[in-house]
Structure 1
Amino acid sequence: MAIRSFRTADGVHWQVWNVVPGRRDTERRVGYDRRNPEPVFRYTGPERRRGADRRQPPQFLSPQLASGWLAFECPTEKRRLAPIPQHWEQLPDGELEQLCMAARPVARVTPVAEVTDDEQGGG
């Protein structure tokens, strides 16, 4: 995953990176157990798992996003552009700014803070 930073003409600092969902080159848990010098023997019996393969891309993605997107983020906003333009990593900052302005704004996900007993008035 490449990541770039650029500043727009009005001085806003943006970061941009590519996102490719569900892309895993190798299964991490095959071959050996790194905690044990003995080799791990593969299970050769019938399949015991039920349901869909969890390594597949999430089904909630729209078809336009299934092959990936560029994520643009500044301190106040986040945007998404699909599909990923070829050679975007080498584009001049001005062209990245144009792509950013063409990208769709998306809602930022903010983590929910845990409320402690002190904040609730207890304790």
Structure 2
Amino acid sequence: MALRGFQQGGVHWQVWSVIPGTRKDGERRGGRDRRSPDPVFLYRGADRRKAADRRNAAATVSAAFAGGWLVFQAPHERRRLAPIPADWEALSSDDLARLCERATRVHGLSDG
């Protein structure tokens, strides 16, 4: 996965590709195992979950994004563009800025 950066209107953007379903092991989490015998992590009460375990549920992606998308991220904004343009890693910074202008703003965690 390539990671590129460019400037647009005085704002630094980073761009990378996302292709769903490409991990072979199916696991995306990293770090410490939450099932550790460490007393801080060991809960002895009743199971409070109401729904079935969601870790094994397959994520669904809309048809428009099934082939992957580009993520454009600035400090206070995130956008995405699908489908991924061919050879986007080799495009000039000006071309990346034009793609960013076409990309759709993503609302959520990146909103300030």
SS of equivalent to 1:107: coil
| In 2: Cα distance, 1:104 partner to 1:79 partner | 5
Runs ≥4 in structure 1, deviation > 6 angstroms?
none
| In 1: Cα distance, 2:25 partner to 2:12 partner | 35
TM-score (normalised: structure 2): 0.66
For structure 1, the residue ranges without an aligned partner over 5 or more in a row are 29-53, 111-123
For structure 2, the residue ranges without an aligned partner over 5 or more in a row are 28-55
SS of equivalent to 1:97: helix
Percent of aligned positions that are identical? 46
Q: How does 1:1-123 map to 2 (within 5 A)?
A: 1-8=1-8, 10-25=9-24, 54=56, 58-59=59-60, 61-109=61-109
Residues 54-99 of structure 1: CA deviation (Å, up to 9, x unaligned):
485x12x210111100000001110000000010000000000000
SS of equivalent to 2:108: coil
| In 2: Cα distance, 1:18 partner to 1:55 partner | 23
Inter-CA distance 85–76: structure 2 relative to 1 (3 Å threshold)? same
1:27, CA displacement in angstroms?
7.1
Rg comparison, structure with higher value: 1
TM-score (normalised: structure 1): 0.61
Aligned-pair Cα RMSD in Å: 1.9
| In 2: Cα distance, 1:23 partner to 1:4 partner | 20
Inter-CA distance 15–81: structure 2 relative to 1 (3 Å threshold)? same
